[in-house]
Amino acid sequence: MIHPTAIIHKGAELGEDCEIGPFCTIGEHVVVGDRCKLVSHVVIDGHTILGRENQIYPFTSIGLQTQDLKWKGGITHTVIGDRNVFRESVTVHSATSDGETTSIGSDNNLLAYAHVAHNAQLGNHIIMSNLGTLAGHVTVEDHAIISGLAAVHQFCHVGQHSIIGGYSKVVQDVLPYMMVDGNPGRTRTVNKVGLERRGFSSEQILNIRRAYKILFRQGLNTTSALEKIEAELPPSPEIQHLIEFIQRSERGIA
């Protein structure tokens, strides 16, 4: 189902049962998976691969050249998984340097005017609300929520099951399971409601809350806080992930 006004390069590859609406443009090196729907006025270009069952709404552009002034040419990539929704005027840019990739996983929901910059790495089940903005090289783990008009500084890492409040300016890493808000963004508390919705048990949430209090309420430096968490809290996958996230952080914790 291809509208007669759509422009599709003869080198592009379209999967089965795709719907390509009016005035869409698909470039030479684009691969579109089965049952994708491009509503209208969508541009997909560059070396871009889309998985299955993605829905892309009007005036969205995916895979175009980075806005990074360090762009020197070469072949860069944009890779997108399955069942994502890109609402109106979303922009996803390709990577900056030859051979690099911007990637988005599966089952994500990017609302109107959200922006994913060059070299960003997004996991699965992420929600980016209207005008949420990710700078270059940002990593976002699974089930994170970025609220409306929030902006994340380049090279920041947003942890799984976290939530960033609306209008926030995030300049350091966002811990998994936490709620960050403000300008600059600061960790406010545990994302309790989000964890409950994702099926975390009361015991799991209690241990995450205990870790939060050790990190932020007891006046300890990071090394001492991590040692206390390991000594006092029962081992669990979520606490271990929290510890490893902090140990890997390069920009520091919000």
pLDDT tens for each residue of 22-63: 999 999 999 999 999 999 999 999 999 999 999 999 999 999
Domain boundary residue, one of 137, 162, 188: 137
Read off the CATH number of the domain in which 82 is found: 2.160.10.10
Whether residues 14 and 127 fall in one domain: yes
Q: Answer yes or no: is 42 within a domain.
A: yes
pLDDT tens for each residue of 164-221: 999 999 999 999 999 999 999 999 999 999 999 999 999 999 999 999 999 999 999 9
What's the predicted TM-score (pTM) here? 0.97
Domain range for 222 = 196-248
* CA 90 – CA 42 distance, rounded (Å): 10
Q: Answer yes or no: is 117 within a domain.
A: yes
* 234 contacts: CB under 8 Å, gap ≥ 6: 207
Whether residues 49 and 127 fall in one domain: yes
What is the count of structural domains for the chain?
2
Q: Answer yes or no: is 142 within a domain.
A: no
Place of tokens 């890492």: 157
Whether residues 11 and 133 fall in one domain: yes
* CA 54 – CA 71 distance, rounded (Å): 28
- Give residue 10's pLDDT: 97
What percent of the chain clears pLDDT 90, i.e. is strictly above it?
A: 100
Domain boundary residue, one of 109, 137, 165: 137
Whether residues 14 and 101 fall in one domain: yes
In terms of Cα–Cα distance, which of 44, 82, 42, 76 is closest to 63? 44
